[in-house]
Structures are given as structure tokens and as C-alpha cells.
Amino acid sequence: MTRVIRGGRGGSLHVLEKGETANPHGRPRKLVNDIIKDMQDKGVKPVKPVDIVAAFESMLNMSLDELKDIKADEKASYFMRRVAGEMLTGRGYDIIERMLDRAHGKPKQSTDITTGGDKIEFTLPKVIIKTSDESNG
């Protein structure tokens, strides 16, 4: 049980017993909807897949200087700065390959390692089921 004692400057203090909490339910969780509403209030708009494709395709046509400018621009979105930065690293080719795969999809790859290109034919074994009447007689 909380004890209330007089404070040194005219107020009161609530002294908790060991194991007691003043906020039993804790801080209320911030829900995803709350975060989305906060972002919308700030003017942040969601990115659509078509926007990502357009960003990738545009960045593939940029010069090194333009990519460096985007990476250094504090007002650019995190996504654009991060992609520009990754393109400028030593792994730039891998990043570009992934960007193309995301924008246009991977080309269809098929591998035939069992038949050498011949058609696979399935044959089912013949199964004979004897009933109890047939096996006794």
C-alpha cells in the first residue's frame, strides 16, 4: 500500500512498498495506426511499388556525381540516400543486379539435370488386391 508523507517543501510524496508500482499498466503502446497517422500528419506519403521501380530505373541512369549528391543530401529520403550509397560502394554491381531483379523480375531459369532434355515418363506398377474371399477359395 502506498504511504503518503509530507515533503520537505510543502508537497507530499508517495512512497511505494517493495514490489509495488505507480504505473501498473505501463506506458501505453503506440500502435501501427498511430504511427501511420503521425506520419500522415507530417506529410509523409506511402511509397507504392511503381514508385520504387521508377526510383531504381532513374538511379540506374545517374552519373556518379549525381549519386554522390543524393547520398549527401540530408533532405533526400532515407531510401534514396541508402540506395545511392550502396551503388557507390565496391558492391555496386551486386546492388544494381538486385535493383534490376526487383524492378523487372528475375529471368526464368530452368535446369534439367536428370534426363538430358528427354521427357520423363511415369509408369505405375500393376497392383492386384485380393479380397479375403478370393484368398480362402
**pLDDT score recorded for residue 47:** 86
Its domain, for residue 54, covers 47-104
Closest by CA to 15, choosing from 25, 30, 5, is 5
Exposed/middle/buried for 84, CB within 10 Å: 0-12, 13-18, 19+?
buried
Put simply, whether the predicted model's pTM sits higher than 0.75 gets the answer no
**In a domain? residue 32:** no
**In a domain? residue 73:** yes
**In a domain? residue 86:** yes
- Say how many domains are in the chain: 1
Mean pLDDT in residue range 46-72: 90
**In a domain? residue 23:** no
Confidence band of 7 (pLDDT split at 50, 70, 90): confident
**pLDDT score recorded for residue 134:** 59
**In a domain? residue 137:** no
pLDDT tens per residue, range 108-124? 777 766 777 777 777 88
Confidence band of 136 (pLDDT split at 50, 70, 90): low
Closest by CA to 59, choosing from 96, 104, 101, 107, is 96
**pLDDT score recorded for residue 20:** 84
Closest by CA to 55, choosing from 45, 70, 68, is 70
**In a domain? residue 35:** no
Beta bridge pairs of residue 55 = none
Question: Cell for 45?
Answer: 506519403
**In a domain? residue 31:** no
**In a domain? residue 38:** no
**pLDDT score recorded for residue 109:** 75
**pLDDT score recorded for residue 95:** 82
Question: Cell for 7?
Answer: 515533503
